[in-house]
Chain A
Amino acid sequence: MGPAVSVAPVLDAHTDGDTLELKPTGAWIATNSKSMERLSDDVAPQIAAAKSLTIDMAEIGEIDTIGAWVLEKLSRSAAQAGRTAQFKGISGNYAELIDEVRQLNRRGPTPHPKPNPIIAKLDQIGRSAWSATADIAVFLEMLGALGAALLGVLRRPRSLRLTSLTYQVYRVGWQAIPIMVLITFLIGAIIAQQGIFHFRKFGAESYVVDMVAILVLREIGVLIVAIMVAGRSGSAYTAELGSMKMREEIDALSTMGLDPVEVLILPRIIALVIALPILAFIGSMAALYGGMLTAWFYGGMQPSVFIARLHEAVSLNSFQVGMWKAPFMALVIGIVACSEGLRVKGSAESLGLQTTTSVVKSIFLVIVLDGMFAVFFASIGM
């Protein structure tokens, strides 16, 4: 091994009749790539002018594959222009390296015909339109698979993965309680504060209770909780299933004759369907509590008054409306999260992409669903 300090590469050129002789000296190694490239660019016109080219390697100091490739490129450019090109004076050590490099980069990839840009654009539009319908298909497919797995479980109740289900309920339900309570509490408080502030102008402060109660129980409580669950648990589902998909764990399951939907997805979705209504209930209570405290400290309304007013303002209907929506929202979040997880391809990037898609899509669908429920309940008079 030579010393670690590297000398700058030098390329001497002199013409002998019609022959151009290039004599590289110094260190032709990776760290000197910039100067090697410059040197080889500098002699390009001379190579173009000469009839034949000789590269004299006798006095080269150090060389590695990158240096050898730069020199080989010079000889190749001469050869391509129909001139003779050869190496000489290659010392024993480097002979194999030069031989090796001379074989390389002789073939390119099989060229793909470039499509017409207009057709390519149309193709792209067509594909994205198609992928929108594919999204629906994927959703329905998962719903179907889930139904089938559920039927299987109903027929053989023992095949339900109870351990997994309990663990998932613990994760998406129990562990989520503190953050859900905190957020819904704050939202209830904010709604009450805004209500009191504006209603005060009409002397209608007491109606703030109606507003908080109806908003929270019918809409906000369940919607906020569903959105939080989509962001917290839906994304986790997608990432988990996605990385299992990437590492062929799901393939391993199915080759053992197990149905991944039954083993992995059903417990997760059932857990969501159980947990979300409970969370929505707890969240609504926390929001009412937040509203009550605000009414007390900010609006000067005694809690007893608040509660009495609450009895008058809310019918059981409002509460039922909110609770009815929760399991459906859970189902949508679960199906979107799991099917996006299964769509993850091999790369880390696609895992990230699918997780984002999962959250965005499930929040969107939850809001759409909420709107449809609003229309539905209005039409049946609830």
Chain B
Amino acid sequence: MDALAELYAIRVADLVVGFGRQTVLDHLSLDVHRGEILGLVGASGGGKSVLMRTIIGLIPKQSGHIEVMGHDTERGFGSARASVAATWGILFQQGALFSSLTARQNVQFPLREMLDMSEKLQDEIATAKLEMVGIGPDDWDKFPAQLSGGMTKRVALARALALDPSIVFLDEPTSGLDPIAAGDFDQLIKTLQTTLGLTVFMVTHDLASLNVVCDRVAALADGKIVAVGPMHDLLQSEHPWVRAYFHGKRSAMLQPKQD
């Protein structure tokens, strides 16, 4: 592993992705440091999910270069991909829980498939992870169809964290959660980052999350990263879209009124 791969968890350079005639990502570059929490903001339909899915190799890129933990994610599906897959956890925007497994079995699934451990330990780890994300014992044996939207998100997070990955991709993790749960969620992510050195790539519109947990924030507009840096740098940014995002009516409501 070279020095750059030691420093960066994700390196995206000059990435172009599109569907048919539509170009969604247009020569986009972005680096994510190891152990940091990076928040990605952008307009709805701006290509945030597409960027995340391209990084993890689900959408083919047209050109550019992507590395996750020093591995090219597009190349190779078989064992090379499995070894990368063991180091990351992914929370999809819609949860993507396996509908025929209960919440507990969903979390057990990666443990059973990827690790060598007794069934009892699998079960304990699964319930521990579910509790960490705030799913109580009465909901462990429910099927995804029986869970609320916010609960689905949390079970999906528990599944993403099951293997104690070194990097997690979260697509709008706190949307659909009540503010208390969202706060707990932020706290959990922060704890995992400080204790496990977790790298987090998080698509979010939650200004509180951006403020509290993100080390850096990247703004995606017109298919490019137009600004990246700590939150207060972005607040100073001159880019019109970034200004509109952080200084619009909605965000102004969060600041205390100054009269």
Contact = CB atoms under 8 A, between A and B. Distances in A.
Interface of A: 1, 4, 29-31, 33-34, 37, 64-66, 69-70, 73, 93-94, 96-97, 100-101, 103-105, 107-110, 246, 345-350
A30 B163 contact: yes
A196 B238 CA distance: 90
B137 A108 contact: yes
B145 A347 contact: yes
Interface string B25-62: 00000000011000000000000000000000000000
A109 B196 contact: no
B141 interface: yes
Contact of B129 (A65, A107, A108): A65
A64 B137 CA distance: 23
B258 to A, nearest CB: 36
A346 B140 contact: no
Interface residues of B, number: 36
- By Cβ-Cβ distance, the 4 closest A-B pairs, closest first, are A346-B145, A347-B99, A33-B117, A349-B100
Nearest to A95: B195
Contacts of B137: 107-110
B195 A93 contact: yes
B1 interface: yes
Contact of B143 (A34, A96, A346): A346
Nearest to A348: B99
Contacts of A108: 137
A33 B140 contact: no
A93 B115 contact: no
Contact of B164 (A30, A105, A346, A347): A30
B183 to A, nearest CB: 16
Interface string B78-101: 000000001000000000000110
A346 B117 CA distance: 31
Contacts, number: 85
B99 A34 contact: no
Contact of A64 (B34, B138, B164): B164
30 contacts: A1-B34, A4-B1, A30-B164, A31-B86, A37-B117, A64-B196, A65-B132, A65-B164, A69-B124, A93-B194, A94-B195, A96-B195, A103-B131, A104-B128, A105-B124, A105-B131, A107-B137, A109-B138, A109-B141, A110-B137, A246-B145, A345-B145, A346-B99, A346-B144, A346-B145, A346-B146, A347-B145, A348-B99, A349-B100, A350-B100
B226 to A, nearest CB: 29
A345 B129 CA distance: 27
A69 B125 contact: yes
Given A37-B121, A347-B99, A97 B195 contact: yes
A104 B161 CA distance: 15
B104 to A, nearest CB: 9
B197 interface: yes
B129 to A, nearest CB: 7
Given A70-B121, A96-B195, A110-B138, 16 more contacts: A29-B164, A30-B163, A33-B117, A34-B117, A37-B121, A65-B129, A65-B196, A66-B125, A93-B195, A96-B194, A104-B127, A105-B127, A105-B128, A108-B137, A346-B144, A348-B100
Given A33-B115, A34-B117, A69 B99 contact: no
B211 interface: no
Nearest to A345: B145
B161 to A, nearest CB: 8
A218 to B, nearest CB: 45
A274 B127 CA distance: 55
Contacts of B115: 30-31, 33
B178 interface: no
A347 B100 contact: yes
Nearest to A103: B131
B34 A347 contact: no
Nearest to A34: B116
B191 interface: yes
Contacts of A31: 86, 115
B22 interface: no
A246 B146 CA distance: 12
A178 to B, nearest CB: 31
A93 B35 CA distance: 13
Nearest to B7: A1
B118 interface: yes
Contacts of A94: 195
Given A105-B131, A110-B137, A1 B35 contact: yes
Contacts of B196: 64-65, 97
A47 to B, nearest CB: 17
B240 to A, nearest CB: 37
A248 B124 CA distance: 34
Given A109-B140, A109-B141, A1 B195 contact: no
Contacts of A37: 117-118, 121
B219 to A, nearest CB: 27
A100 B194 CA distance: 13
B63 to A, nearest CB: 29
B124 A73 contact: yes
